Structure 1
Amino acid sequence: MPAETTTEKGANFFERLVQVEHGEWPRLGIAFFYFFFLLGGYFMLRPLRGAVAANNSEILHWLYTGTFIAMLAIVPVFGFLVSRFRRGQFIPAIYLFFISHLVLFALGFEGDATPMWMQRAFYIWLSVFNLFVVSVFWSFMADIFRPGQAQRLFGFIMAGGSIGAIIAPSITKGIVPGFGAAGVMFTASFLLMLATLLAIFLGRYSRKQSQNQPTEVIGGSVWEGAVQVFRSEYLLYACLLMLLHNLTSTFLFNGLAVLVSENIAGFEERTTFFSHVDQIVQVLAFSFQFFITSRLVRFLGMPRTLVMIPGLLAAGFVILGSSMGLVLFAAVQVAQRSLNYGVLGPTKEMLFTVVDRETKYKSKNFIDTAVYRGSDVTASWIFKGLTSAGISIAHIAWIYVPIMGVWGFGAWRLGRLYTQMRASLPSDETVAR
């Protein structure tokens, strides 16, 4: 299969930098700002979740369990919507559903005076929200961009989200002292509403590009997406990749929450700390997404690109096992999240451009939500069990090093399968819509 090439003749410097062709700008631009507002809204809220996690560091494993149960409840509802309604109907409905809940939380939040049950409910809600709406976004992108376009453009689209995520913590830091958590939530609701409007506009533009043919209702069983995961070697390796990544990221999140609770006091101070961490992560992630990731995949290929991440993180865990402290631990988490958002995120979304529409929406959503949070639950209970047994965070870091080896093997195999599936497509020029 011939590789898709960027039009060089007549392309300006920015087009060559982004690797975009002339006719792709409208769709790419809408997708860029759609993700900008979507992640901007979420990352305004994320420091609040970090502060809640620090306030509840002793029961994080139960909050993960509650999130997983909520995910299991919502997956069949999403499967029903996808099976019965067109893309232009169920995507805006999902966003409006979450926005209405956020407004209700804003009316009840009062910082440290917020009832503990509401803080915990918000933690679970936001943990469901961030996975669900981002998963829907990337299912949408995989539906309207071809595999070759995805390899060139998904990094740039993700960079739009990173810019929103870079700006958002500063907005949160500016709002919290004067207006508290409620002010942050109302502002985030406005950004999410803008993302919803752009989702509607992008759907209409894509339909217009397809001669105004309405997108087909995907149909099928409510549970078909979950069933298909266990029938497909490709999807099972995707699940393994997510499981092992989450074992790593959840350890880093929980460990940092424990260290913050021991070293930083006060809801606003902890929110500010997590805002700084988020901002550094997004600056680094943006650099990967905008300048490096698409070129990395082209130069190394998908298998080597996916293997690179556990290799680098293994070195970070060796350092943590040898030395421990809040700043060092935060630095390793920054590295992990930067690689996740900057490299693993775009490549993971590319993996779903070579499958059918039902898999893109149903199976992908099942993996991104139920499997993702299921691995979170597993990792959080492992962390709780190890710390309850008296094992230090530094010693736990050593335990995780072999996990990186298994992750590396699964990543290599998944990358090879992707390469084979892409080569078997009739043409990389087949238009998605």
Structure 2
Amino acid sequence: MKVEPTETMALLASFAMFFTLLSAYYIIRPVRDEIGVMLGKDVLHQLFSIVFVVMLVLVPLFGFVAARFQRRYVLPAIYTFFVLNLVGFWIAMKTMPGSQLAAGTFFVWASVFNLFVVSLFWSLMSELWSHAEARRLYGFISAGGTAGALAGPLLTQGLVRALSPVDLLLISAVLLLVSMLAGILVRRLRPGQEGAETDLAVGGIFDGAVKVFTTPMFLYIALFVFLANVVGTFFYLEQARLVALTIPDTTTRVEFFAGRDLAVSIATLLIELFGTARVLQRFGLTAALLALPMTAAFGTLLLSFDAALWVVAAVMVAERVVAFALANPAVKVIYTLAQPDEKYKVQNFIDTVVYRGGDASSSWVYGAAGGGLGFASGTIAAVAIPLVGLWLWVAKNLGREHSRHAAEKA
């Protein structure tokens, strides 16, 4: 990886920002997953639908706020808001232990939180780094997030028996605050285009949706993300069903989820440090995009023959490693070809409404297709396989659109 001297400090600050951001989230994630198991698969289906509705409400609200504030203020304001939310949930869960309302609200909040904070992070990166710089440096920046995703589960496993899971929320709040400060530093080190940081982040509430449905490149990104989450949520719901059947203890379940996240983080970090940039530069973005639906196709076939917990856990680890190390960096590189305002409004719409729309759609289909038996019934696999085929077609066309736009921009 070639790094210019003028890029070094901003690159390290970007790495640190993503490290602390995902450390904060991966402390929250096992707690959220355990709440999902505790509430049960029937409630979980409803919660995914609620998450989608919340997204539909929040995205226009985000557009309203971002259209009235300069871009340099949007990320710090939203990150500060989420820090205060974490403190509020800590107080609520301490004063109302065992409350299903508080637990369900936290599950919905955590499912919204991770998308907004990560989407805003990558919007900042695509604003401040050029397309050529992104191809060189996004692998290293992504490795910062993966290192954070490694540190989060390690902290969780180390502290979950000394502290209650609720107390971990305060540690997450501190890490998120540090991430916000690192983001302010990155912008100071790389102010971007002259005057860009004082521009408004978006022009209108529904501009992102209009751009998605009128621009082929954005439409293929949206379809890629949607299908990824439909298929991925099949695996997630199957895992929740099997965990509830095989692991009765709450603390053991939190440790299981943290251990799974730890395995993902170690494998992803190694690929990002030594393979992501090489794959993107040598084989191109299309190969990186195709790797994810191909992994999901193999996992779907495997689960259709043996729907056991260790199998679905292995499939989820493999799918998330490929997503984090190859597919996600490829999509983020594509966003660098967008106009400055599109990097916020389009990316935010896709990373929130489209992303959670995939989750909600998957939960509806999973329930209708006999989710109580999961992949063991054969019906889920029969639904997933055609979706994976469509996903492969979308990935190929997205790679072609990227090549065309990159050539035009060059």
Q: Same fold (TM over 0.5)?
A: yes
The answer to whether the 8 A contact 2:370-2:377 is kept is no
**Separation in structure 1 between the aligned mates of residue 122 and residue 371 of structure 2, nearest angstrom:** 38
The answer to whether the 8 A contact 2:51-2:112 is kept is yes
2:227 is matched with 244
Which residue, 48, 54, 63 being the options, matches 1:79?
63
**Separation in structure 2 between the aligned mates of residue 417 and residue 27 of structure 1, nearest angstrom:** 30
1:163 is matched with 147
Which residue, 265, 268, 275 being the options, matches 1:285?
268
2:396 is matched with 412
Instruction: Measure how far apart 1:397 and its partner are.
Output: 2.7
1:370 aligns with 2:353: yes
**Separation in structure 1 between the aligned mates of residue 231 and residue 113 of structure 2, nearest angstrom:** 21
1:46 is matched with 29
CA 1:376 to 1:212, structure 2 compared with 1: closer, same or farther past 3 Å? closer
1:217 is matched with 200
Give me the CA root mean square deviation. Answer: 1.8
The answer to whether the 8 A contact 2:24-2:152 is kept is yes
**Separation in structure 2 between the aligned mates of residue 321 and residue 162 of structure 1, nearest angstrom:** 30
1:152 aligns with 2:122: no
The answer to whether the 8 A contact 1:52-1:123 is kept is yes
Instruction: Measure how far apart 1:113 and its partner are.
Output: 3.9
The superposition leaves residues 261-286 of structure 1 with CA deviations (integer Å, 9 ceiling, x where unpaired) of: 00001221111110000000111111
- Aligned ranges for residues 120-139 of structure 1 at < 5 Å? 120-139=104-123
Instruction: Measure how far apart 1:210 and its partner are.
Output: 5.9
**Separation in structure 1 between the aligned mates of residue 253 and residue 301 of structure 2, nearest angstrom:** 27
**Separation in structure 2 between the aligned mates of residue 392 and residue 112 of structure 1, nearest angstrom:** 37
Instruction: Give ranges in structure 2 of 5+ residues lacking alignment.
Output: none
CA 1:61 to 1:389, structure 2 compared with 1: closer, same or farther past 3 Å? closer
Identity %: 34
The answer to whether the 8 A contact 1:175-1:183 is kept is no
2:250 is matched with 267
1:181 is matched with 165
The superposition leaves residues 143-200 of structure 1 with CA deviations (integer Å, 9 ceiling, x where unpaired) of: 0001011111111101001111101112112222222122200001000000011111
Please tell me the residue identity of whatever aligns with 1:418. H
**Separation in structure 1 between the aligned mates of residue 285 and residue 373 of structure 2, nearest angstrom:** 40
The answer to whether the 8 A contact 2:291-2:326 is kept is no
2:89 is matched with 105
Which residue, 69, 73, 83 being the options, matches 2:53?
69
- Aligned ranges for residues 322-337 of structure 1 at < 5 Å? 322-337=305-320
Which residue, 319, 335, 338 being the options, matches 1:352?
335
Instruction: Measure how far apart 1:312 and its partner are.
Output: 2.7
TM-score, L = length of structure 2: 0.95
**Separation in structure 1 between the aligned mates of residue 373 and residue 212 of structure 2, nearest angstrom:** 37
Please tell me the residue identity of whatever aligns with 2:180. T
1:194 is matched with 178
Instruction: Measure how far apart 1:111 and its partner are.
Output: 11
Instruction: Measure how far apart 1:392 and its partner are.
Output: 4.3
CA 1:114 to 1:418, structure 2 compared with 1: closer, same or farther past 3 Å? same
**Separation in structure 1 between the aligned mates of residue 395 and residue 83 of structure 2, nearest angstrom:** 35
**Separation in structure 2 between the aligned mates of residue 391 and residue 196 of structure 1, nearest angstrom:** 40
The answer to whether the 8 A contact 1:36-1:162 is kept is yes
Please tell me the residue identity of whatever aligns with 2:6. G
Please tell me the residue identity of whatever aligns with 2:47. L
**Separation in structure 2 between the aligned mates of residue 305 and residue 193 of structure 1, nearest angstrom:** 33
**Separation in structure 1 between the aligned mates of residue 160 and residue 92 of structure 2, nearest angstrom:** 15
The answer to whether the 8 A contact 1:218-1:358 is kept is yes
CA 1:238 to 1:213, structure 2 compared with 1: closer, same or farther past 3 Å? closer
Please tell me the residue identity of whatever aligns with 1:142. S
The answer to whether the 8 A contact 1:108-1:114 is kept is no
TM-score, L = length of structure 1: 0.90
The superposition leaves residues 305-338 of structure 1 with CA deviations (integer Å, 9 ceiling, x where unpaired) of: 2112212321222111112211111001110111
Please state whether the residue corresponding to 1:84 is helix, strand or coil.
coil
Instruction: Give ranges in structure 1 of 5+ residues lacking alignment.
Output: 1-17, 428-433
Number of residue pairs matched by the alignment: 408
The answer to whether the 8 A contact 1:320-1:394 is kept is no
